[in-house]
Amino acid sequence: MISPNIFYITLMNRNTGYRATWNPNVRLKIGMVGKIDKTGVFNVYSSLEKKGIPAEVMSDNAKVEMDYTSHDSVSITSKLAGSAPVAGSVLSNANAGFSVDFKSDNGVVFQTSGYTTHQLTNLAEIEAQVLNQYKSGGWEKDWLIITQLVEADSATIIISNSSNVHLDLQATANAGAPGLKLTDASLKLAVVREQGSSMKYLAESGLTPLYRVMGIRHPLFGLGKDSLKPKTGAEEGAAAGEESDSLRMQEFDADELTAE
């Protein structure tokens, strides 16, 4: 069975185009500087602020919801207080909550509310200062900058680790709410029954589950690969001593990850 980090990070990149924060409960910040290891963890080394590089940030004004649940392998049934129990669930007539079933070894529930995107808007200035610091020895070539970051007011993320995972989640507060959402922190969801193994982050606030990075060198270079793409004439010129370093968006490649 594929490891949870590889499955989750790969799935979220395929669905959103972003890198997924691993572990999902790690809080990142725009302008952080670091390296991504072979498990997909962004390890913080510094920040633009600490490196004396000004960062101008633009954030969305409107907050929206995001749902990238893998519905082909996950079913979610909500139960209102006073309604008939779901078959196989331990939730009683009086309980409100959710029953979540994973139909395969790998599945993800990813739901957010209050989804906001932050992004750096002075990349030309940042690039110039990064390259100056790199030339003077003050910047490592494999450092990456978080240039875009998704923040959620509340998020529920569940990743199955085994087959036949079943969860009953009971609302221990505000159970009389007419509409139930997995991301509603006021419900104070509690696991009252679990079959199988899963990683769970239930209606947690302030998560930063998705991000993008820019850097001079892609993380794969640190794993022994010379390039993700065939060398262009400019790159061949750089090998002969011509300057071609620049700050580039570093796209995710599943080969970055190992099952460690």
User: Under a CB-based contact definition with an 8 Å cutoff, are residues 146 and 208 in contact?
Assistant: no
Per-residue pLDDT of the chain (260 residues; tens, 9 = 90+): 678 899 999 999 999 999 999 999 999 999 999 999 999 999 999 999 999 999 999 998 777 889 998 878 899 999 999 898 888 899 999 999 999 999 877 889 999 999 899 999 999 999 999 999 999 999 999 999 999 999 999 999 999 988 789 999 999 998 777 789 999 999 999 999 999 989 999 999 999 999 999 999 888 875 544 333 333 333 434 443 444 789 999 999 999 998 55
Question: What are the residues facing 58 on neighbouring strands?
Answer: 119
Cis amide linkage into residue 174, ω under 30° from 0: no
Cα-based distances in Å from 212 to 13, 55, 75, 209: 10, 15, 30, 11
Enumerate the domain spans of the chain.
4-226+234-256
Phi-psi domain of 234 (left: phi exceeds 0; alpha: psi -120 through 50; beta: other): alpha
Q: What is the pLDDT of residue 227?
A: 34
Q: Residue 14: is it exposed, middle or buried by C-beta count within 10 angstroms (0-12/13-18/19+)? A: exposed
If you search the block for the tokens 């030339």, which residue do you land on?
A: 135
Distance CA(187)–CA(142), nearest Å, equals: 43
Q: What is the pLDDT of residue 260?
A: 53
Cα-based distances in Å from 204 to 58, 95, 111, 123, 207: 24, 21, 11, 31, 7
Q: What is the pLDDT of residue 177?
A: 75
Q: Residue 130: is it exposed, middle or buried by C-beta count within 10 angstroms (0-12/13-18/19+)? A: buried
User: Under a CB-based contact definition with an 8 Å cutoff, are residues 144 and 36 in contact?
Assistant: yes
Q: Could you tell me whether strands 97-102 and 108-120 are parallel, antiparallel, or unpaired per DSSP bridges?
A: unpaired
Q: What is the pLDDT of residue 3?
A: 86
Least Cα distance to 101 among 177, 169, 12 occurs for 169
User: Under a CB-based contact definition with an 8 Å cutoff, are residues 84 and 96 in contact?
Assistant: no
What pTM was estimated for this model as a whole? Answer: 0.88
Cα-based distances in Å from 169 to 98, 117, 200, 236: 5, 29, 11, 57
Q: Measured at the alpha carbon of residue 247, what is the angle toward residues 243 and 253, in degrees to the nearest 5?
A: 115
